[in-house]
Chains A and B, each alone.
Chain A
Amino acid sequence: MITGIINTNVDVSDRYITRQGQVTFFSYTNVENIEAKNNQVLSVIDFSKNEIAISMLMKAFVFKKALMREHFNESYIESDLYPKATLEGIILDFDPANREDQTKIVKGKITIRGITKEVEIKTKITFQEQKYIFSGDFELTVKDFEIKIPSVLAPNIAKNISVQFKFEYEPYEL
């Protein structure tokens, strides 16, 4: 009976959430290295359908160099018009009951500046202390999201931006 309840808890409380997901992006060029971190990323997973959603505010990215936040939000991302970046997708072939370390593909749609791209992101999934931990990295192409870079600054900003992420999901308490 008790195990039954616990089991149903695992199955029924299908939703896991994080409010402090971490997303870091890097742009490495010969001229300049740019790094920015957002550790207030929201994400929720519905394990009944293995659906995942991520939402982050662009303004919450902090940079190493002062003024970068202003430039990033005002001149590149236009966060007044597009305040969020989002991802909606599904975790392929994932069984939440299997708590071993594993690597799965998250397939979904990523939206930045109102432009949506299909992505497949290799994700490492571990289970520790009642938390599902999703981590990994992938690359995004600046051009895909129609981010305008003035030609004088073209050498300062990488064509491909590498993105690292780490989310620790806890059971969603309503």
Chain B
Amino acid sequence: MSLMNCNMYFLFVALVCGLSSVNAQSLLDELDKVQSDAHPYELATFKSSRISLGHSTETLKKGVLEIGSRSRFWNIPNSDIQSFVADKMSTRLSLEYGISNRLTFGVGGTTLDGIFDMFLKYKMVRQRKHGFPFSITLLQSGSYQSERTSLADIHRSDDFADRLAFTTQLLLSKKVTSQFSLQFSPTLVHRNSSVFEEDPENHFALGMGGRYKVGGHVSIVSEYYHLFNPLESRDTYNAFSLGVNWELSDVMLQFQLTNTRNLVEDAFITQTPNNFNFNDGNLVFGFTGIFILHLHNGLKK
């Protein structure tokens, strides 16, 4: 009995000590202990569905329709053309829609070479603050080149099937710090036909891209695609871009200095005919404007 009393006494002392030590801290400190992380995922690894040239791991949110206009401007060296701003331009107009928060579907048409493309993009894994360290997104796109190219055409015939190309990408990104995000994009480009036998039908490439947030709404981006087995029949160069993204509410503007003239993955990864430098004709200026329409309103989960 006395032992039990003794135990009770100790319990009481322990409780009092425990309580007083709790009292010694502020109520806020106490709340810190109970706080659970409501949203354990990293937000905004990239703000837009494209880093600069190619896709980022970001997908559109459910019910969001993205209206996009992506343009490239460049000059023809030593030409007599007196054109306004630039000698040549190419624009991809696109509609992209978030079927769910993870799945995006998009279609687009490019003026250069009359390329029509569509893609499906699925976000498989989201990076967690304390947990899985990467985001993984899968992209499958297909494109149809409806016109003979300005340069020598790479497709065998005018048959529909011969003018198709497919791009598969495994996009892996990591938000390293709150300012800096990095992405690696192993890429497979399959072209349905080639004019020259020595040209591979399957190309392997590795994309590398980064975003550095310099202000609340401005980030600097760069992207590079290394092609492991380029075309044999002609000289091509790896795609590179240096750009600034301006991220506003429903509008995003992207500016690029690049060597790529086309905007669809298979074309700019495997068929960029010029290197990146500041010579006339090689330097391409890119401008992207994206407008977001919300077709699905209501508090998001």
A: residues with CB less than 8 A from B are: 17, 19, 32, 35, 37, 40, 42-44, 46, 51-55, 57, 59-60, 62-71, 73-76, 78-81, 84, 86, 88, 148, 150, 152-153, 156
A148-B299 contact given A60-B39, A153-B249, CB 8 Å threshold: no
- Chain A contact residues, majority secondary structure: mixed
A12 to B28, CA, bound (A): 20
In terms of DSSP, what is the predominant structure of the interface of chain B? loop
How far, in whole Å, are A13 and B63 apart by their CA atoms in the complex? Answer: 48
A44 touches B27 (CB 8 A): yes
Contact between B38 and A60 (Cβ–Cβ < 8 Å)? Answer: yes
Contact B216 A66 (CB under 8 A): no
Which residue of chain B lies nearest to A35 when distances are taken between CB atoms in the complex? B299
User: Is there a chain A Cβ closer than 8 Å to B113's Cβ?
Assistant: no
Interface pairs (12), CB distance under 8 Å: A53-B26, A57-B39, A62-B301, A63-B299, A66-B62, A69-B43, A71-B247, A75-B216, A78-B178, A79-B43, A88-B28, A152-B248
**B64 contact from A17, A67, A153, Cβ within 8 A:** A67
Q: A57-B35, A70-B43 are in contact. Are A81 and B178 (CB under 8 A)?
A: yes
Which residue of chain B is the closest to A40 with respect to CB atoms?
A: B38
Query: Considering the complex of A and B, which 8 residue pairs feature the smallest CB-CB distances, nearest first?
Result: A66-B61, A53-B27, A80-B178, A60-B38, A59-B39, A75-B216, A70-B44, A55-B31
Task: Please name the residue on chain B nearest to A83 by beta carbon.
Answer: B37
Query: Residue B234 at the A interface, CB < 8 A?
Result: no
Chain B residues near A66 (CB-CB < 8 A): 60-64, 98, 292, 294, 296, 300
Closest to A45 in B: B27
User: How far apart are the CA atoms of A43 and B27 in the complex, in Å?
Assistant: 9
**Known contacts being A69-B43, A153-B248, is A53 close to B299, with CB within 8 Å?**
no
Distance between B221 CB and nearest chain A CB, rounded to angstroms: 15
Counting CB contacts under 8 A, is B1 at the interface? no
Q: Taking the nearest CB of chain A, how far is it from the CB of B170, in angstroms?
A: 23
Determine the chain B residues whose CB is within 8 A of the CB of A57 once the complex forms: 35, 37-39
Q: From the candidates A42, A68, A79, A153, name the one contacting B35 in the complex (CB within 8 A).
A: A42
Interface hits, B222-267 → A, CB 8 Å: 247-250
Distance of A42 Cα from B27 Cα, bound (Å) = 11
